[in-house]
Every structure is written in structure tokens, then in C-alpha cells.
Amino acid sequence: MRSKELVVKRFWSTTGVVALTGALLLTSAPTASADYVRDKQWVIDVINFKKVWAESQGEGVTVAVVDTGVDGSHPDLTGQVLKGMDVTGSGDAQNDTNGHGTGMASLIAGHGHGTNNSEGVIGLAPKAKILPIKASSTGDDYRDDQWAEGVRYAVDQGADVINLSFGGSSTSPDPEATEAIKYALQHNVVVVSGTGNDGTAGLEYPAKLPGVVAVGAVDESLKVWKNSNFGPGVTLTAPGVNIARADTSEASGYAEGSGVSDATAYVSAAAALVRAKYPDLTAGQVINRLIKSATFLDHDVKKVPDEEYGYGIIRPYAALTRDIPKGPKQGPLAQSAPSTSTNSGTASDDDSTSQAKKKKKKSSSGSILLIAGIAAVVVVIGIAAVVIRSRRNGGNGGPGSGGGTPPAGTGYPPQPPTGYQPYPNTPPSQGYPAPPGQSPQHPNPYAQQPPHQGQ
């Protein structure tokens, strides 16, 4: 049994001072800034938070953040954080000396502060409640038995969504961790995790477990982040690069980082928005709505789900407003597991297929690969015909909009732990940089390109 060992790690976010001017691919003329931290939140303009909030703000929904704890005294989170539980036995769930858990909570349910809450970090679901589950004191020591206990506690406390911003190796977790995820799914809870911050093929656990929403990250240009893990099983992608967030480990109270952790938090927030507006939907049907409202913009995606984008980039407003059939109660991810059936049209191993796609390595499979390739072409042609017909039909959009979306894998990653090698080129969080002046505002790229499914 590995339950007494450190088997899970937090995904460190790439942080540091990055000059936005000249570094962003989507910019517009700078405008006067009331608050530097708020201006740094480029996601606000891209997703158009205000438009989303006209439909839902996450009222009545509880999101459990299994992480390093959540500091409920942070000015952007006052009144949002419940008591929670410290499964490490070392203290209070609201004692977050690391800052990562507080950061994730701020992206989900931060309400800002100051006049009209115009300062600080604003979350995508600012009226949702946060249930903090402290599963690590340092961000490096997530034990399977402990975070599994935290997941079960969250379920028993009535959490509607569980955010898991940590990940481990490609080997399976202990049975109690797997059973805890099953317990959450059986009790109608949306579980969200990340693909990993290595930029390589293969999802990590717990994101890889069946039924978990596996999230990758996109940058300001809405292209997949270079360090976002990919492969069969990616469910959705969301903003995760140069993200301003709360961080009580810093003197300023804020930090900026990049990673699938942040993307995961935004998907959890989107799930909270849908659960608030459509309380009659099951967890699976909430995921179905997120999937069928997602978009690929103008990215060249040949097959859905894609190994990098999954079913696409989240569109919270579309998820809240489109006419999407409920679909089966279990949703599209039930019974799902990574397999060659969700591969991108080749007959090679899942991971080697993805690696060939990303690294463009030559294959040496010889005649066997050639024969398999011919068979794959036949399959791809058939799939293409279905996709083309679906695009022409428009309407409810999304893969398999009539109900049974093909099974997809799961997973999403957060930040790294002690005792494990940190992900390459991903240093720990640093303090928020001093305001250099004004920063650019960003246009809404969602409005610039049609989604992949006819709306």
C-alpha cells in the first residue's frame, strides 16, 4: 500500500514578471486603470464576465477546493469561505501558508473589494461558496488516503463541484482514492482536475480517472499552452496562462501564474454557474452542457474530442443560454476511460500517438502500421462525414448533440510537491509585480470566430 507515502503532487505554476505590452497576441488600446490587479485579469474580457453574470453568478452552489487550504480572510474572499476540513491533521482548513488553494478559490468565487468591488481578483462565479479542504500544508505532500478523505467529506457536506488542482504520476492512485472519486460521481458531484504541466503526452491522476473532467490550459491567444499535457481523455480547455490570483503567502496578497491549475478552477466555476441556473440537471448533464457549448474557434481540429483541446474551450455564456438537450443522466463521461477509441485516427499506442503528434517523431512500425493506417483512414472518412453533416445541421451543436456523446477520458492538473521532481520550467509562485502603469485590455475572441458546432 502506498497510502502512507507522498503519491500526489501539486503542479507548480510558471510565474514571474511578464510585461503584457508586446507579449500578448490579443490586445487593444490601453485604458485607464482603477486597479492594477483587476486589469491583469485578461480572462474577464475574453469570457465577458458581466454578460455571463446576467444569467448566473453561482448562487446557492458550493465548490469544494481540495488544496492547501483557503484563507477566508483575504479581502477578495470574505464571506465566501465555509469552515471546511483539514485532513492533514495539522491545523485549520483556512490556514493557507502556501497560497495556492486561496488562489484557486479566488478564480472561482472571488468577489473583489473596494468601491463597487472594483479592486482585486474577481472570480467567474462570485456568489458561489467555497468549501476548503486542506490536503497539504506545503503543496508538495498530497497523500492519496488524505485527499480521498477530503473528497468524501466534501460530498457529505453537500458540495456540488469538487476542484482538484493537484496531480501525480501516470500510475494509478491507491484504491481509496479511486473509490472516493466514484463516491463523488455516485452522489451527483462534478469533479474537475487537470491534465498536467509537463507539455507531454498522457494525463495524470486523478484527472485520468473515469468521470473526472480533465482540463488543459490555453493562453491569451486561446491556443493550447505549450506545457499543457495532452492525449486521449482531455475533456475541456480553459484560460491558464498569466493568470492573476489571490495569494496570501505574498506580502501583496496576489501573484500571477500559469498552469492547468488555473484552467481547472475556471472550469469548476463554469460548472458552478450551470448548476446554479439549472439545479435540476445531474452532474453528468452539467458536464454535457459544458461540452456541447465549447468551441474550437478557428483552430484546425480534425476529430472530436481532440487530444489537445478535448471538446473545446469553455464558453460559459453559451453553456448557460444555448438550447441543449439534457441527455442521459450519467452524462458523456460516465464509464469513460482512456482508450484507442478516442484516439486521433492511428493504430499506435495512446501515448506514442500523442507524442508523435506533438513532437513529430518518425514512426518505425513498418508494414503493421501501414495496414493499421489504411484501416484508420476508412474510420476517419466515416467520422468526417458525420461531423460535416452535424456542422451543416447546426442547432444544438456539440459532439453528439442528440444525447449520447462518445465517452471521453478525464483529468486535470494543479501544482508540485516535495519529494517529487518539479515540472520542467515551472518555478513556484512569486509575488505579484509592482504596477508598471497601465496594461492593455483584451477583446473578446469568442465573438470573433464561430464555434465548431454551428452557433
Strands 111-113 and 119-122: antiparallel
For the question of residue 363 being annotated catalytic, the response is no
How far is the C-alpha of 132 from the C-alpha of 73, rounded, in Å?
Answer: 13
455 belongs to a structural domain:
no
Q: What confidence tens digit (pLDDT) does each residue in 113-128 have?
A: 999 999 999 999 999 9
Question: What phi and psi, each to the nearest 5 degrees, are found at residue 374?
Answer: -60, -45
Query: Do residues 196 and 290 both lie within one domain?
Result: yes
pLDDT at position 446 over 90:
no
Q: What confidence tens digit (pLDDT) does each residue in 285-315 have?
A: 999 999 999 999 999 999 999 999 999 999 9
How far is the C-alpha of 192 from the C-alpha of 175, rounded, in Å?
Answer: 19
Q: What is the dihedral of CA 111, 430, 17, 256, to 10 degrees?
A: -20
Reported as a pLDDT band with limits 50, 70 and 90, residue 34 is low
Q: Please report the pLDDT score of residue 184 as a whole number.
A: 98
Strands 111-113 and 167-168: unpaired
Q: Which of 174, 213, 220 is nearest to 193 (CA)?
A: 213
Reported as a pLDDT band with limits 50, 70 and 90, residue 88 is very high
pLDDT at position 188 over 50:
yes
pLDDT at position 346 over 50:
no
Q: Tell me if 193 sits within 8 A of 199, measured CB to CB.
A: no
Query: Do residues 369 and 417 both lie within one domain?
Result: no
Arithmetic mean of pLDDT, 191-196: 96
For the question of residue 113 being annotated catalytic, the response is no
Query: Do residues 379 and 428 both lie within one domain?
Result: no
Q: Which of 243, 262, 178 is nearest to 10 (CA)?
A: 262
Q: How many domains does the chain have?
A: 2
Query: Do residues 371 and 403 both lie within one domain?
Result: no
- What's the CATH number where 199 sits? 3.40.50.200
Strands 62-67 and 161-164: parallel
Query: Do residues 255 and 206 both lie within one domain?
Result: yes
pLDDT at position 424 over 60:
no
452 belongs to a structural domain:
no
pLDDT at position 31 over 90:
no
* Residue of higher predicted confidence among 137 and 238: 238
Q: Please report the pLDDT score of residue 315 as a whole number.
A: 98
Query: Do residues 305 and 377 both lie within one domain?
Result: no
453 belongs to a structural domain:
no
228 belongs to a structural domain:
yes
Q: Please report the pLDDT score of residue 102 as a whole number.
A: 98
The amino acid present at 36, given as its one-letter code, is Y
Arithmetic mean of pLDDT, 221-237: 96
pLDDT at position 56 over 50:
yes
Query: Do residues 99 and 133 both lie within one domain?
Result: yes
The mean predicted confidence, pLDDT, of the chain is 75
Query: Do residues 247 and 377 both lie within one domain?
Result: no
For the question of residue 74 being annotated catalytic, the response is no
Helices (H), 122-174: 144-156
From 13, 39, 45, 67, the catalytic residue:
67
How far is the C-alpha of 40 from the C-alpha of 451, rounded, in Å?
Answer: 26
3 belongs to a structural domain:
no
The amino acid present at 116, given as its one-letter code, is N
Q: Please report the pLDDT score of residue 383 as a whole number.
A: 45
The amino acid present at 42, given as its one-letter code, is W
Query: Do residues 129 and 152 both lie within one domain?
Result: yes
pLDDT at position 336 over 90:
no
> b/e map of 389-409 (b: 16 or more CB within 10 Å)?
ebeeeeebbbbbbeeebebbb
How far is the C-alpha of 309 from the C-alpha of 223, rounded, in Å?
Answer: 9
Percent of the chain exceeding pLDDT 70 equals 65
* Residue of higher predicted confidence among 412 and 339: 339
Reported as a pLDDT band with limits 50, 70 and 90, residue 272 is very high
The C-alpha cell at 130 is 467555497
What domain range is 356 assigned to? 350-393
Q: Which of 232, 171, 236, 225 is nearest to 198 (CA)?
A: 225
116 belongs to a structural domain:
yes
pTM above 0.85, yes or no: no
Arithmetic mean of pLDDT, 147-151: 97
82 belongs to a structural domain:
yes
2 belongs to a structural domain:
no
Query: Do residues 356 and 442 both lie within one domain?
Result: no
Cα 265 to Cα 101, 172, 237, 431: the distances in Å are 10, 23, 11, 20
How far is the C-alpha of 33 from the C-alpha of 158, rounded, in Å?
Answer: 39
Estimate the crossing angle of helix 144-156 against helix 175-186, to 10 degrees: 20
Arithmetic mean of pLDDT, 272-278: 98
The C-alpha cell at 450 is 464561430
From 261, 293, 348, 354, the catalytic residue:
261
From 13, 71, 96, 100, the catalytic residue:
100
At 143 the three-state DSSP class reads coil
Lowest mean pLDDT among 233-237, 271-275, 290-294, 297-301: 297-301
Percent of the chain exceeding pLDDT 90 equals 61
Lowest mean pLDDT among 153-167, 273-287, 321-335, 367-381: 367-381
How far is the C-alpha of 127 from the C-alpha of 327, rounded, in Å?
Answer: 27
Arithmetic mean of pLDDT, 168-176: 79
Query: Do residues 247 and 357 both lie within one domain?
Result: no
Query: Do residues 319 and 248 both lie within one domain?
Result: yes
